[in-house]
Structure 1
Amino acid sequence: MQLSPIHRILRLARGVALCGTALVSHAAIAQISDPAPVEGEIVITAQKRAQNLSDVPISVTAVTGDQLRDQNVVATGSLGRIAPNLTVSDYGNPVITIFTLRGVSQFDFSDHQESPVAIFADGSYIPYLSAIGSNLFDLERVEVLRGPQGTLFGRNATGGVVQIISAKPTETVSGYGQLSYGNYDTIRAEGAISGPIGGGILARLSAVKDRHHGYFRNSLGGRKGDADNFSLRGQLYKSFDDGSDFGIIVRRSRDKISTSPFQARAAYPDPGTGMFELGNGADFADFCAGFFGAPVAPGAADCLSGDTDDGNPRTINNNREGGFSRTYWNANATLNLRLGDVTLTSISSYGRLRKSYRDEDSDGTSYDLLYYDQIARSDDYAQELRLAGSNGPADWLIGGYFLAINGDYSSAVGFYPGDPSFESNVGNAWKLDTRTWAVFGQTEVEVAPRLTLIAGARYTRDRKSFAMTTPCTGPGCDLLGFTSPEIVQGTGYGPGVPGAQTRRSSGNWDGKLQLSYAASDEVLIYGGVSRGTKAGGYNAGATAFFSVDETLFKDEVLTSYEAGVKYGGAGGWLQASGSFFYYDYKNVQVFSQLGPSTLTFNTDGEIYGAEADLRARLAPGLAIGVAGSLLHTRIDPIAVGNVLTGDVSFQSQRLPNAPDESISLYIDKRWDIGAHQLSAHADGKWVSSQKLNLIDYPATREPAYLTINARIGFGAADESWDISIYAQNITKKDYRVAAIPFVTTNGAVIEVYGPPRTYGVSLRSAF
């Protein structure tokens, strides 16, 4: 029997209660066997000040650098393993990285778009979807804050915030080096050195080099899905006798790899419904003959190329190799100045993105049908000032923020290159300058014993200047409709275009009102309402088949109602949390792609669900954790076309990359062997079926899957050295991370699969 979403939530709540009862009962037994306490509670900065994780009335997952290493989470793309209701995906390389948190996301891959899940690195906001995919190395922790966080973090945190915090400089000389080698000729070398350099200044230098050969074999020669990254981070830190401190962090990252490993898989419109289905049987052959006038052989991968599907998801047929290069660097300076009982904090940052993505084989076949290029040249500047202090039972914070982004972008797409009858080359270029400022404040007041009121608000003013040119060359421009005056592709978007709004300005507010109650020293209960906003913007990309009016989309507004509980007791060996939430989502910015045609537009929707997270140290050297989530997403009916009949229906949709259910589990075990230690770690995550496209085509639904990972290590008990073996995706599960409907372009869904089974050995030395 199919359970309704609300029944699934109630089922999870019952499961949480049963787990809690079981663990508390175990606590009564374990008191006899003296369970080991949790080794130091994690201190986080989810509310812009240092607090213990269990004291923060927010749904937060925090993972230390050591825990990330145990789980072999070495890149942002793997962070989906550590937190409930978090999905991280890309297109087989960091050309774009998509964070989806509780169903909230942004799939528009144009470089000027920003994510509604805000990514911060050491206090610096990263505004580029193509810059957030990176190596994780030498970290203190990662925090995942679920739900709107706009009051303290800004206008693009409707879904939540991910904070990446680097390991800090140390007062004594210390450091480490780690070298790993694995299949696909994986080589990863990382290290750090830290200590004083004179004058009371502490320094830390960290670096990583990571490369591997491609996971995907190209039948036309070569491989794709490779990695080649070098990242460097330097820090200086100085503290003063009055409690003030000052720090500078500079980071640089460089990637140079192949383009996305796209694979075509035969698909066709169902003759009855028009919905896209996978398959290369009789209905597919009839579609190819009727729609394209192209007969196909049995086992065809699409309607046009003549390629056959060998059934191997990591065999591709790309006639274009292409290449991706990216350089991103960022510098930020943080000053905490103690002024009596008040602290003034200043965070100044500058970021620079230089990206070139050339000659992508967009159709995923040996036929030279489509290519795609993308270039970004963007700089951002940000300044935050805030004052924080305490007055009796109240903690307060006020501040101001300014952000400027100056971006020049271009995308090109070629149709039928080399065909003298249909060849067309579109080379769109656009410029977007953003200026945004905000004022904000938040206070926490103990209104009664153990009862705290949290109230905060933020006002943001957002100004954007935009213009786009849309040239097209070749005989296919007229034949394919690129010169039509009814679309932006045929007119451009600038001051001389009727109806174009090249400048937009909007003001919006974020806010939070919440109560938290410390029922005991071990139990925290909280509930409240928060409002988050994401700035509106402009559609732009390699093709602009939308109208002038459709170029602009509005601010989205998410109002969240949430209640939760946190428990940290049983002698310190058990930590548990759970939350329930409901989102009233207005003007959701949703992204639709059909072949090379893309559009971001607004609609309304709702999201609700629940999460639970239990972590326990059952005995000395034995720790387990389990987390689960339920999620229901829905947006108002949108237009869905039937390519066979031309009819248009309006259908409600779930949001993509948002599985209804997920559960993750880990277990850590350590054995002391004299002056040495043996360790074992295993973790797994199961997710239910999910959509990979806005329209719920059967061809772009991904079935449920489970991935399992493990690590075994042996080393010194003082952790001065260890050697370990690791394996990811042990069962070699094949699952798609992207599926784009190109059915009306070449009779296929263009897919990208996740990494295969990888394994290797790692040697680490620390001092």
Structure 2
Amino acid sequence: MYPRRFLLIGTAMLASPSYAQVDAPGANDVGPEIIVTANKREQKLSDVGATVAVLGGEALARQQISDLADIAQAVPGLSFANSENGTPILTLRGVGFIESSLAAYPTVSVYVDEAPLPFGALAIHSAYDLERVEVLKGPQGTLFGQNSTGGAINFIAAKPTDDLSAGFNISYGRFNEVNGEAYVSGPLSGALKARVAARIERMDGWQISNSRPDDRNGKVRNLMGRLLLDWEAAPTARFSLNVNGWKDKSDTAAPQYIGYVQQNPVANPIIPTIPFSPEKPRAADWGGPVAGFEPFGDSDFWQVSLRGDIDLSDAITLTSLTSYLRFNQRQGADRDGLPYTVNDLISDGSIRSVFQELRLSNGGARPFRWVVGANYADSKVDQAADFDYRYTSVNETVKTFYGYDLTRAHYSNFQKLRSYAVFANGEYDLADGLTFKAGARYTRAKSTATICNTDLTDDARGTGAFLFDIVYGGAAGPFRTGDCFAGNDLGRTINGVAPGAPGEYRDRLSEDNISWTAGLDYKPRPGLLLYANVSRGYKAGSFPAVSATSFVQYRAVSQESVTAYESGVKASLLGGSLQVNAAGFYYDYRDKQLRSKVQSFFGIQDALVNVPRSTIKGFELETTMRPVEGLTLATGFTWLDAKIKTFQGISGGGLPADFADTRMPFAPKYQLSSNLDYEFPITGSLNAFVGGSMNLRSNTIAVVGGDTNAANAVPTNKMLQGIDNYILVDARVGIAGPDDAWRLMVFAKNIFNTYYWNNAVTSSDAVARFAGTPATYGVSLSMRM
């Protein structure tokens, strides 16, 4: 049950993130029209026959939204989850890929000014100095390509200005959190404009070790920067250069140890004696001095993108978008929440990616509006990790029965991923107020993988030696340091490795698909839009990065598809003071890609699988109202019924079963996001403002089958893979100077210190959850010059 005080607050605070940026000039006006680029051209949001949630730059600043986790809290239908290695997992309307490998394509694609960030780890530091964030819901395959079966998130950077301007925002809060952001913008010459922006984030560790009360984790050390250059080379030729990057030396999050599921017959004598973590926001644990392991992070990223728009005639424009990016990562991640190493890892990774798109379009002022184009993407992803699992039941069992000591292992995973696509999209006005829409994209995707699990120690009684001596019975000879020890159990020769033999895994995947969309928009009068769409999108298959002992764990999953049926209405009512948007949808979800488990010699181990069929039904309602000048009230609500229809396998919790008619992970049935902003004059030159936000989410699960624990799970009185319902409440109050030249604000986030978590994972024998941040509060000052 939800606490009564939260229900009262939720009833009083009605505000939608989709319109939180609106700054209305009058009491009977919702505000200036919101412009979006959902169809790769500028349009009024009220004219777009699709569901698009928008967060404007002012709303981002006022609500202290600075990362994907904050954005997910503000947008109903969007869920964010921490993964064991820090890669964010996004799920939109129940469509998500629960996989943390660097090379895993997401189902919710992310862009900065239309330049893609093709892998999840690249998108964690993009929310600064923004004009707005657009969240496009539903398959976006026609215009945004495959890997957007759930939707797309577009970060629209604030652009260079015609006049010299500058500004900054600095805040100080709990845990010595200091966030500073600044920009300078203006002309360099008559045809050249520039904007430079930077952000710094610093915070002390907020997690408290359960076993070492003086030890802290969770410190933040981030630096981001962006340079934009806009050049009007001629009246018919415009170019935009975006150079951006970041450095992240923050700690990886430590989880909370909340359950134990013994995978092998003999338990380590220490782990079962360790008490479970207190259910408090700051409680956690990690290796520490005993294990010789501390969480850490060290990542860097930079991207260069160049866009050119050349008018070939009065009607046709050629657009070229070129992007190149590089990412490097080294980090240590605790995956079990224990002061011992049950399944901790130190990993290295890199990403190199090139993207090129060319398209022709005729703008938006004609009865027939069209865009045709082609693009190419080429990425190389290299990932390696050292695992330490000395305190697991598998090690204890092998030591007891065979005398080998399995303490460490290493994996390497190198993938090349390429795709080619051609696409066309059009809108045709059949009659006054009636528009037909249609589009299609053909995509060809190819990927190769080279994967090896090995033992880099010289231990003659270690992991590699045990597999070669005992599992393979000496048939592969003696183990040599660096030999690939995973065995071929696929029944056919792979990369020269015969069935039953160990070796390096190499394979390729080649797929193609046709994404498409069709729909009707009907505007019977100004301020009212009715629409109906049907579309299909695809997500490419991929290979996992896993600690494996058998080739079956390396197999790629095939591409998944979502066929979506959606209809909705956008209505401006009460003379423009009330905006109501509503949509209903049904998804036919085929071959959903899932990080699951398979049975091996070492017990239940990770693998990627396809879920044959799932369905998602849902409804969304958004309202925005300005009953009096300065007051904005709105709400965004999502209801989902996301079910697996056909799937037999092993759940993420290690439970083999038939999962037909079970619910899908990270798809809470109810989500409500609310926001209130009220600004009013207190003197002739000063305004005061107050605001508040609320986010409500019903319970969900972190893995397929998460409603049921394994038979030997401890404790038995809770769903170890469940995510409970929660409500978060934020508040803010402050004063603003003339023309909003400066703002001084006091803010608080999660003001009731609600304990909640966004993911629960099984790591060998341990079950751990990633808790959300506790109550934070502080003061911020912003100025514009």
Q: TM-score range by the shorter chain?
A: 0.7 to 0.9
* Residue number in structure 2 paired with 1:725: 746
Is residue 302 of structure 2 the alignment partner of residue 329 of structure 1?
yes
Task: Look up the equivalent residue of 2:306 and give its one-letter code.
Answer: A
Is residue 693 of structure 2 the alignment partner of residue 683 of structure 1?
yes
CA contact (8 A) 2:258 2:720 kept: no
CA contact (8 A) 1:334 1:346 kept: yes
CA contact (8 A) 2:651 2:703 kept: no
Task: Look up the equivalent residue of 2:590 and give its one-letter code.
Answer: K
Task: Look up the equivalent residue of 1:690 and give its one-letter code.
Answer: T
Return the alpha-carbon distance in structure 1 between the equivalents of residues 420 and 658 of structure 2. 41
C-alpha change, 1:580 and 1:477, in structure 2 (3 Å) is same
Is residue 20 of structure 2 the alignment partner of residue 39 of structure 1?
no
Return the alpha-carbon distance in structure 2 between the equivalents of residues 118 and 535 of structure 1. 12
CA contact (8 A) 2:730 2:748 kept: yes
Return the alpha-carbon distance in structure 2 between the equivalents of residues 261 and 498 of structure 1. 41
Q: How does 1:2-17 map to 2 (within 5 A)?
A: none
Return the alpha-carbon distance in structure 1 between the equivalents of residues 545 and 285 of structure 2. 29
Return the alpha-carbon distance in structure 2 between the equivalents of residues 405 and 127 of structure 1. 9
Return the alpha-carbon distance in structure 2 between the equivalents of residues 498 and 44 of structure 1. 55
C-alpha change, 1:587 and 1:308, in structure 2 (3 Å) is closer
* Residue number in structure 2 paired with 1:461: 444
Offset at 1:135?
5.1
* Residue number in structure 2 paired with 1:14: none
Is residue 428 of structure 2 the alignment partner of residue 470 of structure 1?
no
Return the alpha-carbon distance in structure 2 between the equivalents of residues 642 and 580 of structure 1. 30
Return the alpha-carbon distance in structure 2 between the equivalents of residues 643 and 185 of structure 1. 37
CA contact (8 A) 2:74 2:695 kept: no
Offset at 1:186?
0.2
* Residue number in structure 2 paired with 1:755: 773
Return the alpha-carbon distance in structure 2 between the equivalents of residues 694 and 532 of structure 1. 22
**Which of 361-370 and 413-422 deviates more?**
413-422
CA contact (8 A) 1:576 1:612 kept: yes
Return the alpha-carbon distance in structure 1 between the equivalents of residues 772 and 651 of structure 2. 30
Q: How does 1:259-408 map to 2 (within 5 A)?
A: 259-267=252-260, 292=266, 303=272, 306-307=274-275, 309-319=277-287, 320-340=293-313, 341-358=315-332, 360-389=333-362, 392-408=366-382
Return the alpha-carbon distance in structure 1 between the equivalents of residues 471 and 282 of structure 2. 39
Is residue 479 of structure 2 the alignment partner of residue 505 of structure 1?
no
* Residue number in structure 1 paired with 2:572: 568
Which stretches in structure 2 are left out of the alignment for 5+ residues? 2-13, 15-25, 288-292, 474-483, 500-504, 709-718
SS in 1 for 2:97: coil
Indicate which of 170, 193, 197 corresponds to 2:184.
Answer: 193
Offset at 1:464?
1.1
Indicate which of 605, 618, 643 corresponds to 2:614.
Answer: 605
C-alpha change, 1:267 and 1:352, in structure 2 (3 Å) is same
Q: How does 1:330-729 map to 2 (within 5 A)?
A: 330-340=303-313, 341-358=315-332, 360-389=333-362, 392-416=366-390, 421-472=404-455, 473=457, 474=459, 475-477=461-463, 489-491=486-488, 495-498=495-498, 502-541=507-546, 543-545=547-549, 547-548=551-552, 551-592=555-596, 597-603=605-611, 604-639=613-648, 648-673=657-682, 674-696=684-706, 697=708, 698-729=719-750
CA contact (8 A) 1:467 1:494 kept: no
CA contact (8 A) 1:267 1:699 kept: no
Offset at 1:723?
0.7
* Residue number in structure 2 paired with 1:237: 230
SS in 1 for 2:71: helix
* Residue number in structure 2 paired with 1:162: 153
Return the alpha-carbon distance in structure 2 between the equivalents of residues 445 and 355 of structure 1. 47
C-alpha change, 1:488 and 1:688, in structure 2 (3 Å) is farther
CA contact (8 A) 1:95 1:324 kept: no
1:233-274 deviation per Cα after TM superposition (whole angstroms, max 9, x unaligned): 001001255353111000010000223212211345xxxxxx
Task: Look up the equivalent residue of 1:171 and give its one-letter code.
Answer: D
Return the alpha-carbon distance in structure 2 between the equivalents of residues 629 and 713 of structure 1. 31
C-alpha change, 1:485 and 1:334, in structure 2 (3 Å) is farther
Is residue 136 of structure 2 the alignment partner of residue 145 of structure 1?
yes
Offset at 1:507?
1.1
- Alignment size in residue pairs: 707
Which stretches in structure 1 are left out of the alignment for 5+ residues? 2-18, 20-33, 269-286, 297-301
Return the alpha-carbon distance in structure 1 between the equivalents of residues 43 and 558 of structure 2. 36
**Which of 103-112 and 128-137 deviates more?**
128-137
C-alpha change, 1:494 and 1:539, in structure 2 (3 Å) is farther
1:658-703 deviation per Cα after TM superposition (whole angstroms, max 9, x unaligned): 1011112111100112101111110101111111222223221122
Return the alpha-carbon distance in structure 2 between the equivalents of residues 649 and 402 of structure 1. 40
Offset at 1:549?
8.2
Offset at 1:540?
2.5
C-alpha change, 1:623 and 1:313, in structure 2 (3 Å) is closer
* Residue number in structure 2 paired with 1:65: 57
1:9-42 deviation per Cα after TM superposition (whole angstroms, max 9, x unaligned): xxxxxxxxxx9xxxxxxxxxxxxxx833122111
Return the alpha-carbon distance in structure 1 between the equivalents of residues 587 and 694 of structure 2. 29
CA contact (8 A) 1:357 1:374 kept: yes
SS in 1 for 2:59: helix
Identity %: 29
CA contact (8 A) 1:255 1:324 kept: yes
C-alpha change, 1:47 and 1:647, in structure 2 (3 Å) is closer
Return the alpha-carbon distance in structure 1 between the equivalents of residues 653 and 606 of structure 2. 20
Is residue 96 of structure 2 the alignment partner of residue 105 of structure 1?
yes
Return the alpha-carbon distance in structure 2 between the equivalents of residues 550 and 309 of structure 1. 33
Is residue 47 of structure 2 the alignment partner of residue 55 of structure 1?
yes
CA contact (8 A) 2:208 2:217 kept: yes
1:183-233 deviation per Cα after TM superposition (whole angstroms, max 9, x unaligned): 101011110000011242100000000011122112435312221100000
* Residue number in structure 2 paired with 1:766: 784
CA contact (8 A) 1:672 1:717 kept: no
Task: Look up the equivalent residue of 2:742 and give its one-letter code.
Answer: W
TM-score, length of structure 1 as denominator length: 0.87
Offset at 1:636?
3.1
CA contact (8 A) 1:523 1:567 kept: yes
Offset at 1:327?
0.3
Task: Look up the equivalent residue of 2:703 and give its one-letter code.
Answer: N
CA contact (8 A) 1:346 1:384 kept: yes
CA contact (8 A) 1:616 1:624 kept: yes
CA contact (8 A) 1:577 1:613 kept: yes
* Residue number in structure 1 paired with 2:760: 739
Return the alpha-carbon distance in structure 2 between the equivalents of residues 365 and 123 of structure 1. 42
Indicate which of 83, 91, 115 corresponds to 1:124.
Answer: 115
Return the alpha-carbon distance in structure 1 between the equivalents of residues 465 and 596 of structure 2. 24
Offset at 1:479?
8.9
SS in 2 for 1:552: coil
Indicate which of 218, 224, 234 corresponds to 2:217.
Answer: 224
